[in-house]
Structure formats: C-alpha cells, structure tokens
Chains A and B, each alone.
Chain A
Amino acid sequence: MRYLILILSLSGCTGHAADLSRPPTGEQVFHELLKNGSIHLNNEPLCKANINLFTQLSLALSVSYESDNTAIIKSFCSLTKHEFSGGNIKNAWDCTVQINENNKKGDFISSSTIVFSLTADKKEFIKGSLRCR
C-alpha cells in the first residue's frame, strides 16, 4: 500500500511538471498568436503601438502583396524564462515569427519580427511578453 501511494504521488508530480524537452509545435505557435490577435499593442511594453496585433500581422504579412518581392516566414521557439508579476520567474518558450521581404535578386528589403512567450506547461500565450521590431 505504501508503495502504491508513493507511485501515485510520483506520477502525480510528473503529470504537473512541464516537459521541457518538447517545444511547442508550429501549429500551437500560430494558434496562440492568432488567438490573441485582438491584444492592443499599447498594453505590450516592448511592442507599443496604437494598433492591435492583427493589424501588426497584416502589415507584416502584406509586404510582398502584388509585388515582385517575396516574403519568407521563419518561425522557431527556444527555452527561456519569464518574470511574471510579483517577480515570479518560471520557464517559458520564447517563440519568434520573422517575416523577411527580399527582392528578386534576394536582397534585403524589409524585416518584421514578432516574439512572444508561451507557458512551459500548457503552451499558452503570456500577456505582456510581446516584442516587436
């Protein structure tokens, strides 16, 4: 009985811990980004602008519209930490979506980068973590 309790409590602990060897999938990254499109960027200290995230994404994604230029989208996540309000520091995933506009020769024309953090366990968007450049 004592062993059973030990096994149950151990499995309970591991069930709550984030598996840091498994980064978010691409679908999770874009799902969380788009799900939070209505966030107003004036509420994001490192992405301040008088528009919401949907508008920022529209600007970034439309750069090669009806043009000979091409837009290349790169996205990736890396393990990081995030300081929540109250100074609580936790593991998180920093996810980057970068859109590069190049001309026909491949020369740099413009770049737009959106970085945001996802919680390590549920892979959910962390408000206040947006960084735009």
Chain B
Amino acid sequence: MSIIPTDIKRSLGINISKICPFSLSRNKSENHCAHYVSHIMGYELPGATCKNATWADKQKPAKGATIRVNDLFSASPVTDLLANKPATLTECLIFVTISSNVKKVGCAFEMETHPKKHVGILSQGKVWNYSNSHNQVVADMLSLFQSKFSNTYKTTGNTVEFYYGKFI
C-alpha cells in the first residue's frame, strides 16, 4: 500500500507556486527540491519551513513545509547508500550530494549543509523531483536521475553519492 499521495501525478510539470501559498515559492533562484517533497508528503519538521521564512508568511493560516534537504535526511528513520537499498523497498526518498557532505557517525549517516544536494521521491521506478533549471516538477527514471546529477554535481576531489531514505 503506497503512502505517497495519489495527487503526486497532478504535480508533474507545475511550478512550486501552484503547490505552496507562501512567498518563498515565488523565488525562482531558490532550490525547491526539499520544499516540493515536503509539500507532497506533508512534512513540516521543526526548523526552516516556507511558512517561517518571513514574518508575513507566519501570519497566514496555511500549513508550511520543510525546505532543507539535510533536515529531511536527518529525520528519515533509515538512510543508507542507494546501492544498499533493499529491492523490496520501491517507494522512498532519494538523496544526492557530494561525498564530502555526508559523514558516518557511528552506524548512521549525517548530511551537512553544502549547497550541492537534492532530494526526490522514488515511486514506480521514477524519481519525482523539482527541476530548479526548468522551475517545474519532473519525474525522471532513476537511472536518468543518477546520470543527470553525477554530471551536474561533479566536483574536483569529490564523488557524487546517492542515498535512499525511508519515508518520515
């Protein structure tokens, strides 16, 4: 039984401002990947959200959504390298960042605050994520998502790493 809201399909191709009523959604220069995932999945964790971004936004009645990739990563109950994802887990969060941005503390991974980080929702083989270049939601096959970000985040002295995270 899927816990991904059925209306995720309706988000394909739309701008974040159609999903989020707060002022942050009108800023096309921001990274809206965690913002999109959180609105779809209903994540409003303690910390930075679209609702507490400004005083005026805080006064609005609507529910906010978490906006930082590392906040989603640390709240996920299980995170590991994508290569270690059980085959039976077909729906989860997919994270990508550079190798220096994740540290192993004990048995757990911790994601830090480097700007090169992205998150999407894996469902039926596709990664639903927010394309900041095109300012709209896209659904990439997992292999395409991996090749796209392996190229985009290529950085001297780092590798590009993919992680999965169980839903919060």
Contacts and interface: CB of A to CB of B under 8 A. Distances in A.
Interface of A: 45-51, 56, 59-60, 63, 66-67, 74, 80-83, 94, 98-101, 103, 107-113, 115, 131-133
Q: Which 5 A-B pairs have the closest CB atoms?
A: A110-B115, A112-B115, A108-B132, A111-B31, A108-B133
Interface string B136-168: 000000000000000011011000000000000
B56 A80 contact: yes
B36 to A, nearest CB: 13
Interface of B: 29-31, 46-48, 52-56, 67-68, 70, 112-117, 132-133, 152-153, 155-156
B48 A49 contact: no
A48 B47 contact: yes
Main SS class of interface, B: loop
A111 B112 contact: no
B48 A111 contact: no
Contacts of B54: 80, 94
A32 B114 CA distance: 23
B48 A132 contact: yes
Contacts of B29: 74, 98, 100, 111
A115 B55 contact: no
Contacts of B152: 103, 109
A80 B55 contact: yes
A112 B67 CA distance: 12
A131 to B, nearest CB: 6
